[in-house]
Amino acid sequence: MVHASRDVGGRRIGLGEHIFIIAEIGINHNGSVEIAKALIDGACAAGVDAVKFQKRSPEKCVPREFWRLERETPWGRMSYIDYRRRMEFGEKEFKEIDNYCKYKGVLWFASCWDEDSVAFMESFDPPCYKISSASVTDEPLLSAVRSTQRPIFISTGMSTLPEIDKAVEIVGRSRLLIAHSTSIYPCPPIDANLRVIHSLATLYPECPIGYSGHEVGIMLSYAAVALGATFIERHITLDRSMWGSDQSASLNLSELNSLVGAIRELEGAFGDGIKTVYPGELVQIKKLRRVYLSSRN
């Protein structure tokens, strides 16, 4: 069996390694650096390996027919394009985030939704990139991310196997990590289909396989680890009742802390696969075993 692994920011990801845990802040900061910092603080306190943001050029990512549609927002009624601009961090905000993550000692990177955003993020020397499920079929974006020659996480929600195959062909396998995902927010457990983790590991043995979850709670993320996920990504929020489409499918910081702690316990429980009798069992042998088998060569 191929045990693929990748180096991301000095951390190895693969079977037999510590589970790489990504706290996705995404756009749950609602355009506020202070909220972003509070989420970084909570993620670091929980012990995650990385935090992730999203980066878009609104003019390139919002279809023109939606630009002038008005909607209610936390900042009043405004056009959809102005709302998307209001939500985006620019150079000033990301410089502050970059400095803060370095101060906190945590990796950070982003899902880029267009080629200009990839060029923008390159100035921060990210350890890797993420291709969101929505971008699996975006060939120009896939090519732009591949050209950076950095490790690439790719989520596979809302994607067919032929679409995933084509994306893998474009970005290549040598630096790729693949996440099983279902793009429903929040995702009902019946639609999680966690056995796809095994299917992806069979189809792409050269690539570490992980799980990007959008369900409520943390049980399915535990199960994903038990099924062989080498990395876990979950959205995080200060409060699920906050404004934003991703908030309801996010973990609050208390849940994130529980998730990280449980995953670390699971790592210890996996062991090395070699059957042995532990010192703590010797007392039970003396107390409970009536007949001993003779030793055989």
- When the pLDDT of each residue in the chain is averaged and rounded to a whole number, the result is 94
Task: Parse the chain into domains and list their residue ranges.
Answer: 5-288
Least confident stretch, 71-75, 150-154, 274-278, 285-289: 71-75
The alpha-carbon radius of gyration of the chain (Å, integer) is 21
Which pLDDT tens digit goes with each residue over 92-114?
A: 999 999 999 999 999 999 999 99
- CATH domain 5-288 topology: TIM Barrel (3.20.20)
Strands 176-180 and 209-213: parallel
Q: With bands split at pLDDT 50, 70 and 90, how would you rate the model's confidence at 3?
A: low
Beta strands in the chain (DSSP E): 5-8, 11-14, 20-26, 50-55, 70-73, 76-79, 107-112, 129-131, 152-155, 176-180, 209-213, 231-235
Q: pLDDT band at residue 295, thresholds of 50, 70 and 90?
A: low
Q: Is the pLDDT of residue 1 over 70?
A: no
Q: Which of 25, 110, 113 is nearest to 63 (CA)?
A: 113
Nearest residue to 211 (alpha-carbon basis) of 202, 226, 129, 203 = 226
Query: Using one digit for the tens of pLDDT, what is the confidence trace for 155-207?
Result: 999 999 999 999 999 999 999 999 999 999 999 999 999 999 999 999 999 99
d(CA 4, CA 89): 35
* Continuous segment of H or E residues that includes residue 100: helix 91-104
The pLDDT value given to residue 129 = 98
Residues 41-82 have pLDDT tens digits of: 999 999 999 999 999 998 998 889 989 999 888 888 999 899
What's the pLDDT at 191?
98
